Structure 1
Amino acid sequence: MSSPLVAQGTPPGQAAQSTDDVSNDILVLGEKANRSLRDTPASVAITTAETIANQNLLDVYDVLQRTPNVSIAANRTSFTIRGIDAFNVSGAGDGALASVYVDGAVLPRAALNTGPLDLYDIAQVEVFRGPQSTVQGRNALAGAVIVRTTDPGYDWSGKARVMLTGPDGQRRAAAAIGGPLLGDQIAFRIAGEIARSDGLVYNRTLHRDADPRRSETLRGKLLFTPDAVPGLRVIATYVHDRHERGVYAYEFDAPYSPTDRIVTEDVATDTQIVSDIATLEAHYTLGGGFDLSSVTNVSDVRADYIADPDRNATPGQLSLTRDPARTVQQEIRLGIDLPWVRGLIGAYYLREDNRDYLFEATQTLNLTRLGVDRQLLALGLSQPMVDTVLGLYGGVVPIKNRLTQPRLTRNLAAFTDLTFPLTGRLSLRAGLRYDNERQLRGATQSVTLNGSLPDPARLPVAALAPIVTRLNALLLATAAGANSVEPTRAITYDAWLPKLGLTWDVAPNVGLSATVQRGYRAGGAGINQQRAQAFTYSPEYTWNYELALRSEWLDRKLIFNANAYYIDWRDQQVGVQLTPGAVFDTQVVNAGKSRLYGFEAELRGRPTPSLDVYAGVGHSRSKFLDFTLPFGTEARSAGGNEFANAPHWTASAGTTWHDKAGLLANVNATYRDAFFQDTVRQSVRDVRPLTLVNAKLGWQGEHFGAFLIASNIFDRQQPTSFFTDFDGRIRGTLSDPRILGLSFEGRF
């Protein structure tokens, strides 16, 4: 939870300023009804602007890392909520399982890799654990992250920051200013940040930094509250953002050590995300207990990736990916606040255009990954003979391939979320969403061999000529069979997503809630790259059962909140290999069934006016009840296994001390339990537990402050991911080393 919380009475859609007491009165924006945390049974962790500043949180992944029952991916491109990865838990599925919203607009998937997630001049971040399908709709089965930027105000204010850190060579400069343009009718706010970093990884082949980070963010907002139309509040926001980064993994095998952070690729990995996002929010008080809200969003997010497919110094391989997403969203809500019912009724429209997706590569495919070794064994060849044959090809086949996958999505929804007071202490909560999604999908793939194959007439072992002849024909046929043109076709899905709950105010300071609701992810379509065959798959659903406790103690100086949950997941989208061992001969089917349960508990207090303390713990357990995959030469089942990248325990704690003279000290720590990296191979938990301790120390005057910042104080460098790559070498990532820096901050 956040540090000092906020009072009610704030205009809808706007985070309020901190108060001096610790309470459950903070306004929760993500459920769109602007309830206080005390009245929100959903499990939500809220980070305010004050906490962001005190803990020196730089982007959304920093917030996620400090949230119980949330774990971030090693390369900071995804995250899990209650053990559920934001994209998928079985290597399958198209839509996200958790989404990030900024000022009411959902970000496309590409933006979560490197995109507009920095936290400078952010008012509030809310992390919802558990399905938000009823109110948020698509792609929120696991949860949602709601980011609210700072709104303009009618008082002049501004701030600036310069930050320098090492050994990553990071330099950041940021500023924000806002105030009235026309009395108390029009106000503005402009915020921007430029960041540069050398990174921590070095390329021995190209003799340059392998993970340089560059970003520029510029955001402008206008507030319009015209005297001529009392009760109308309009906010217009425009954001331009560019983020760029390099490699995601480095060498673990000799002659290098993981702590060397070395890569040897001959093509520099580069990921660039450019975002232009415009949002118009309007709220009008109708009177009589009704209000009307509208959120209109247009976004253009362009993602470009350059990579070396073999990730080593062997020349001749290059992959290029272009993944643009142009999105239009419109939501209209009627707010209701009557003695007998409170809540909202709304409608939603989305159009997401991904028709210009393109992948091009010149690369070599490992024959073992194509399943060739197993096919030769099936012909009766011995393993030594198979190894000899594959050696004639160098174990690989060079190809050129080009893939386009145009996708156009239209989503329509109507929803309601209402609370009915039954007695002075008992309330009934009911919600329902009808979601209809139409996808236009197509694919065109071109594959050609990019080199010569062994000549059967010139082999060192003449007896192998018939086998090589047959294998050459097989490879040529496989390449030819991979060429396809799948015309655009329409796929439509719909779902009813109910929610029902009860809230009982046991005492003025204690509330208990029970909720049951349905989660949902739409189906989709894809292409089997080896067979050049299109396929479709159906939606997947969860039923979620949750208990919640909200409580305040010691005259609101201490709060304790907790949620416990049980999830039943059926028709799970699962990726399967049609030919055992052939990783490109895969498609998605609805064949999974899972069970999850756990809890989150968070404690926050202010024992003295100058001291804040907090602690949180999360426990999650996941289990595949039914999940069978062809694997190797036999079908193996992941039934009984846990989800990948799903630690059992996560925890965070910290304290902030400040005095009237301006001295400030914050120390905080996070803990993440061990976890498996694979859904099938689970003999040992691959990734060990990790504890990180961070601090911010310094002085903040009326207009100026200077701080020493430190992350990973005890320099815990240990693997956060590792894998055996195509060339047999182990590569992965480590936790960042100790980072020290200075931050100079001004404000008025």
Structure 2
Amino acid sequence: MYKFNAITVVLMGLFSAGAAVADDDKGELTSIEVITVTGEKFERSLKDTTSSVSVVDSEELESGIHQSVNGAIDDIPNVVTLTGAVPDIRGVSGNGAATGFHSFAGGANTRVATITDGVAEPFVADLTGNTGLWDIEQIEVFRGPQSTSNGRNSIGGALVINTKDPSFDWEGAAMAGYRTEDNFVDTAFALTGPLIDDVLAFRLSGQYLDGETFNKGITQAGREPRFDQNDLTTQRLRGKLLWQPTGDSDLKFQLNFSHNNEEGDSGRNYYVGKDHDAFDSLFDRFMDTKSNTSSFEAHYKPSSSYAFDFLAAFVDYDWKMLSFEANPAMDADVTMLEEDLTLDAKFSFGLDSDTFNGFIALAYFERDQDFNSVGGSVYDGVDSSKSYATYGEMTYAITDKIKLTAGGRIQKEEQVRDFNMLFGGSTLSERLDNDDTIALPKLVLQYMITDTTTLGLSARQGYNSGGGTISFNAQEYYTYDAEYVNAYEFSVRSGLMDGDLNLAANLFYNDYKDYQGSDATRTITNIEQATTYGLEVEVDAMLSNDLQMMAGLGLLSSEIDKADVSFGDIVGNELNSAPNLTANLGFKYWLTNEFTVGINGNYVGEYYGDINNSDSRKAGDYTVAGLTLDYQYDAWRVSVYANNLFDERGLTVNEPPGRSYEHGYVAVIDPQNFGANVIYRF
């Protein structure tokens, strides 16, 4: 805590003198009533959203400070980002049972969904394909279960990424950036405009990111590396074509295509524990993640009161992993080919009514996987998964100040997975065959105290499917059950001081049943009951015409209430990756209308790395500070920044020495780095 308080004092002192002499209107806050979120499948202002959600806007993303999605959200309250992993939210592991080898053996889903332009992103073993943030409108981070809206893999929350759409005004931009320490060069472009005025418009954007990570690589005696050990390259290309046959937005169709390719040193990065400042890699891997996503969107609004929306999307996903070992025979070559089909049809009603409105939708999802591994581990398999769902919600205004929303999701899931592995001198062949139907209700009560302040009470259920994998200790294939959560929240949304203060707060309680936990042998077993509760508060305020403050606080308590004896004595323990405190504080000061300086700090409290709450696996308890100088004039924007300003060496993973790793291993936050980003708009 001392570190965070010290930074707070520095921040306040730095800007207090300047704030006292502010004269002109330079800064302007975006009202909580104007910020729109889409992650619940119905556009709402942030003020009318009861779910706990944080929004990262394009203004911040275009500064170049953040290189990846995880980097853009790592200061959000009650969010912890680990290397090569989907973010952990409110103490719930984002990867869940889908981590590493388990992802192949059982085809498990993550607990936190990543959804880009309405399409769920595939996930295999490690988080890859996460870099490159060009031409993104905003990132919405939902904390708590989003299963009623998004179904699969969102029991812990969801990351909703909306990229920029075509415009009927000619616009373009070019960007170039450079970052030290890992020597990254970032270039990008975007172009949009009309092909036929008010009828046909396009948008085309691309990004190329290339550099070297701070991983030092491994030297294997008598062997040349199979690949560049610390190179990382990302290529993104996105195209959109918008057609409005009648010349207005009541009838429109849009074709979207995106190509993404990230290759090199991504995924999990662990370093030898004896001197983690040396960044000596624990293992060397080359990850190659390619995806091509094609989608079609249709919107028809025949009247002011109702509308039809349809989405069809196809994802072609190709994931590869190579390793570099001391023994060439142990070099791993792993591939995963995945094809996803998404169909979603929605009918919205009462769009012009403040009394009764809502939507009902039908959804279909299909996933086919084909995977293969040779080298140190030999296995292969195929997977066919399908889900059918109907979901929706209705809102009724009981009075002019009280609204009741009822909704839910009914979903049928089917999965057949064949897995074959050379194991213990023989071939192990197993089939996982799951067929489940679940109902997930949602209930929300809102009370508009004033025109600027809304209170909310909500209850909803979340779900994540069961699966199967191999126990290397027991030398057998086993299965585990689905996990569920009952989630309850109280929310406050307020826009005060004539729009100069935005306040968002959520008090939550989550009751988990059959939580999928991993024990000391990395066997996944259902924990009968676990609970989490806490608070998230975010404040955005104009303290003067020249000075803006952004602050966030996350409080979290987690406890395992009932568990199988196979886990040992863990009842009363905390969940892993569940710090009691996360917090952030930042200031932005307008020196002139064009020139701003920003400084920020975020703190992640100490947490356990396992559910056994081993002291030797404690991580966290670090503070990271950043500084930004931003100049915007006419068509130009120049940003200069420093990340991890005081070169903090915070640990996110801390594995003690053991039989497999003599010195143990750690994961470390990115070291101090500096950069500059230039954007020209035309």
TM-score (norm 1): 0.81
2:281 pairs with 1:263: yes
Q: Which residue of 1 aligns with 2:17?
A: none
Listed as ranges, the matches of 1:277-676 within 5 Å are 277-287=293-303, 289-308=305-324, 313=326, 316-337=329-350, 338-354=353-369, 356-362=370-376, 401-447=377-423, 478-480=424-426, 483-486=427-430, 488=431, 490-528=433-471, 533-575=476-518, 583=521, 586=523, 588-628=524-564, 630=566, 636-658=568-590, 661-676=593-608
- Cα deviations across residues 77-124 of structure 1 (Å, max 9, x unaligned)? 321111111122897882211100000000011397121552111001
Residue of structure 1 aligned with 2:638, choices 682, 686, 706: 706
Contact 2:112 2:154 survives alignment (8 Å): yes
Q: Which residue of 1 aligns with 2:21?
A: none
- From the superposition, tell whether residues 289 and 689 of structure 1 become closer, same or farther in structure 2 (CA, over 3 Å): same
- From the superposition, tell whether residues 205 and 534 of structure 1 become closer, same or farther in structure 2 (CA, over 3 Å): closer
Distance 2:58 2:282 in 1: 41
1:568 Cα deviation after fit: 0.7
Q: Give, as a single letter, the amino acid of the residue that structure 2 aligns with 1:84.
A: V
Q: Which residue of 2 aligns with 1:216?
A: 235
Contact 2:65 2:643 survives alignment (8 Å): no
Listed as ranges, the matches of 1:150-169 within 5 Å are 150-169=164-183
- From the superposition, tell whether residues 90 and 112 of structure 1 become closer, same or farther in structure 2 (CA, over 3 Å): closer
Structure 1 window deviating more from structure 2 (94-103 vs 609-618): it is: 609-618
Q: Give, as a single letter, the amino acid of the residue that structure 1 aligns with 2:467.
A: G
Distance 2:677 2:380 in 1: 46
Q: Give, as a single letter, the amino acid of the residue that structure 1 aligns with 2:74.
A: Q
- From the superposition, tell whether residues 562 and 251 of structure 1 become closer, same or farther in structure 2 (CA, over 3 Å): closer
- Cα deviations across residues 362-414 of structure 1 (Å, max 9, x unaligned)? 3xxxxxxxxxxxxxxxxxxxxxxxxxxxxxxxxxxxxxx42123211100000
DSSP-derived class of the 2:559 partner? strand
Q: Give, as a single letter, the amino acid of the residue that structure 2 aligns with 1:56.
A: I
Residue of structure 1 aligned with 2:91, choices 53, 76, 83: 83
DSSP-derived class of the 1:148 partner? strand
DSSP-derived class of the 1:286 partner? coil
Two-structure CA RMSD over aligned residues (Å)? 2.5
Q: Which residue of 2 aligns with 1:172?
A: 186
Contact 2:29 2:541 survives alignment (8 Å): no
1:617 Cα deviation after fit: 0.7
- From the superposition, tell whether residues 155 and 611 of structure 1 become closer, same or farther in structure 2 (CA, over 3 Å): farther
Structure 1 window deviating more from structure 2 (597-606 vs 736-745): it is: 736-745
Distance 1:103 1:90 in 2: 23
- From the superposition, tell whether residues 701 and 271 of structure 1 become closer, same or farther in structure 2 (CA, over 3 Å): same
Aligned length: 640
DSSP-derived class of the 2:615 partner? coil
1:596 Cα deviation after fit: 0.5
Contact 1:54 1:666 survives alignment (8 Å): no
Contact 2:98 2:125 survives alignment (8 Å): no
Contact 2:201 2:241 survives alignment (8 Å): yes
TM-score (norm 2): 0.89
1:277 Cα deviation after fit: 0.8
- From the superposition, tell whether residues 273 and 629 of structure 1 become closer, same or farther in structure 2 (CA, over 3 Å): farther
- From the superposition, tell whether residues 740 and 591 of structure 1 become closer, same or farther in structure 2 (CA, over 3 Å): closer
- From the superposition, tell whether residues 526 and 682 of structure 1 become closer, same or farther in structure 2 (CA, over 3 Å): closer
- From the superposition, tell whether residues 343 and 717 of structure 1 become closer, same or farther in structure 2 (CA, over 3 Å): same
Contact 2:97 2:110 survives alignment (8 Å): no
Distance 2:81 2:446 in 1: 32
Residue of structure 2 aligned with 1:144, choices 158, 171, 192: 158
1:23 Cα deviation after fit: 3.2
Contact 1:349 1:410 survives alignment (8 Å): yes
Q: Give, as a single letter, the amino acid of the residue that structure 1 aligns with 2:441.
A: P
Q: Which residue of 1 aligns with 2:256?
A: 237
- Cα deviations across residues 211-248 of structure 1 (Å, max 9, x unaligned)? 22111111111111112787112222111011123274
Distance 2:169 2:591 in 1: 26
1:651 Cα deviation after fit: 1.3
Q: Give, as a single letter, the amino acid of the residue that structure 1 aligns with 2:337.
A: P
Contact 1:252 1:258 survives alignment (8 Å): yes
DSSP-derived class of the 1:670 partner? strand
- From the superposition, tell whether residues 83 and 251 of structure 1 become closer, same or farther in structure 2 (CA, over 3 Å): closer
5+ long unaligned stretches in structure 1: 1-17, 363-400, 448-477
Distance 2:126 2:471 in 1: 26
Distance 1:230 1:46 in 2: 26
Structure 1 window deviating more from structure 2 (605-614 vs 331-340): it is: 605-614
Q: Give, as a single letter, the amino acid of the residue that structure 2 aligns with 1:349.
A: Y
Q: Give, as a single letter, the amino acid of the residue that structure 1 aligns with 2:95.
A: F
Structure 1 window deviating more from structure 2 (509-518 vs 605-614): it is: 605-614
- From the superposition, tell whether residues 186 and 105 of structure 1 become closer, same or farther in structure 2 (CA, over 3 Å): same
Q: Which residue of 1 aligns with 2:272?
A: 252
1:702 Cα deviation after fit: 0.8
Q: Give, as a single letter, the amino acid of the residue that structure 1 aligns with 2:151.
A: G
Q: Percent identity?
A: 25
- From the superposition, tell whether residues 111 and 163 of structure 1 become closer, same or farther in structure 2 (CA, over 3 Å): farther
Contact 1:52 1:119 survives alignment (8 Å): yes
The structure with the larger Rg is: 1
Distance 1:674 1:547 in 2: 26
Contact 2:272 2:282 survives alignment (8 Å): no
DSSP-derived class of the 2:133 partner? coil
Listed as ranges, the matches of 1:125-140 within 5 Å are 125-140=139-154
Distance 1:529 1:416 in 2: 43
- From the superposition, tell whether residues 159 and 659 of structure 1 become closer, same or farther in structure 2 (CA, over 3 Å): farther
Contact 1:103 1:279 survives alignment (8 Å): no
1:48 Cα deviation after fit: 1.3
Distance 1:529 1:727 in 2: 18
- From the superposition, tell whether residues 258 and 573 of structure 1 become closer, same or farther in structure 2 (CA, over 3 Å): closer
Q: Which residue of 2 aligns with 1:462?
A: none
2:622 pairs with 1:686: no
5+ long unaligned stretches in structure 2: 1-26
Distance 1:517 1:628 in 2: 26
Distance 1:251 1:703 in 2: 43
DSSP-derived class of the 2:150 partner? coil
Distance 1:511 1:20 in 2: 19
Q: Give, as a single letter, the amino acid of the residue that structure 1 aligns with 2:677.
A: S
DSSP-derived class of the 1:51 partner? helix
- From the superposition, tell whether residues 240 and 258 of structure 1 become closer, same or farther in structure 2 (CA, over 3 Å): same
- From the superposition, tell whether residues 596 and 512 of structure 1 become closer, same or farther in structure 2 (CA, over 3 Å): same
- Cα deviations across residues 403-441 of structure 1 (Å, max 9, x unaligned)? 123211100000111111000111111112101000012
Contact 2:582 2:602 survives alignment (8 Å): yes
1:66 Cα deviation after fit: 2.0
